[in-house]
Copies of this chain bind each other. A is one copy, B any other.
Amino acid sequence: MPGRKRPPRTRREQILRSAYHVAARRGVDGLTIRLVASDARLSSGLLLFHYKTKRQLLLALLDWLLDRTLVPPDLERRGDRGKPPLTVFLGTLRREMHRLSREPAHLRLLFAFWVLGARDAEIGARMREELDRYRAAFRPIVLAVLRAEPARFHRTTAEGMTTVAVSFIKGCAVQAMIDPDGFGITQYLHAAESLIGRGLASAPPPAGRR
């Protein structure tokens, strides 16, 4: 059975998928070299041949996960042309919350890494880096919002506003993660938008999604 069967690219991807699988079921702490190996149907030795150490496997898994969750929002959508900036802004927030709340498993794992990142410098740095990238993606639309109503956003900085935006998204994500069943995102969004300026208060949810 042993020998050069598959190119390393494939193997590593296979291992990562299994790593995700195991981590999703048993948590990051429950992730074990042996468990991942058996899930991927290979020996623990082989796993450590491809990822020299458990730590490296975890870091790779983190990257794998970040690529799939913190994708910067698309601000150039057709259909948003001509709409007021605040509307586009709120629509983007809405879309992001929908997207994230739909995959609670990814979110749970992301938060688990977050907790790790508090004590592991490398993980923490990697995480902050990617989060900054994500936050930065909101900058253009936030600037447009601020410029559109100078009086209202008199002394508000773009920094502060982007932070509020992603924090809001995160708050919603946390909520969805804690209580995936009893969480009505429609109610949630309606309440949020009635609290925020009258922007989208009565708009229907984006077509084709639930």
Q: Which residues of A contact B (CB under 8 A)?
A: 26-30, 108, 111-112, 114-116, 118-119, 127-128, 131, 152-157, 159-161, 163-164, 166-172, 174-175, 177-179, 183-184, 187-188, 190-192, 194-198
Which residues does chain B contribute within 8 Å of A127, judged by CB atoms?
178
Task: Say yes or no: B156 contacts A118, CB within 8 Å.
Answer: no
The chain B residue with its CB closest to the CB of A167 is B171
B27–A119 contact, CB under 8 A?
A: yes
Give the number of copies in the complex. 2
Given contacts A118-B27, A119-B30, A171-B167, contact A160 B197 (CB under 8 A): no
Give A194's nearest chain B residue, CB to CB. B156
A160: which B residues are within 8 A, CB to CB? 184, 187-188, 190-191
Residues on B with beta carbons closer than 8 Å to the beta carbon of A30: 119
Q: Which residues of B contact A159 (CB under 8 A)?
A: 184, 187
Bound CA span A115–B179, Å: 13
| 23 residue pairs A–B, Cβ–Cβ below 8 Å | A26-B119, A27-B115, A27-B118, A28-B115, A112-B115, A128-B179, A156-B190, A156-B191, A156-B194, A160-B184, A163-B175, A163-B187, A163-B191, A164-B188, A166-B175, A167-B171, A167-B172, A167-B174, A167-B188, A170-B171, A171-B172, A195-B196, A197-B197
Is A154 touching B187 in the complex (CB atoms < 8 A)?
Answer: no
A205–chain B nearest beta-carbon distance, Å: 14
Q: List chain B residues, Cβ under 8 A from A161.
A: 191, 195
| Closest chain B residue, CB of each to CB of A26 | B119
Distance of A40 Cα from B133 Cα, bound (Å):
43
The 7 closest A-B pairs by CB, nearest first: A171-B171, A160-B191, A167-B171, A160-B187, A161-B191, A164-B191, A167-B175
A139 to chain B, nearest CB (A): 13
- Check if B119 sits within 8 Å of A155, measured CB to CB: no
Cβ distance A73 to chain B, nearest Cβ, rounded Å: 17
A118 to B27, alpha carbons, bound, how many Å?
Answer: 9
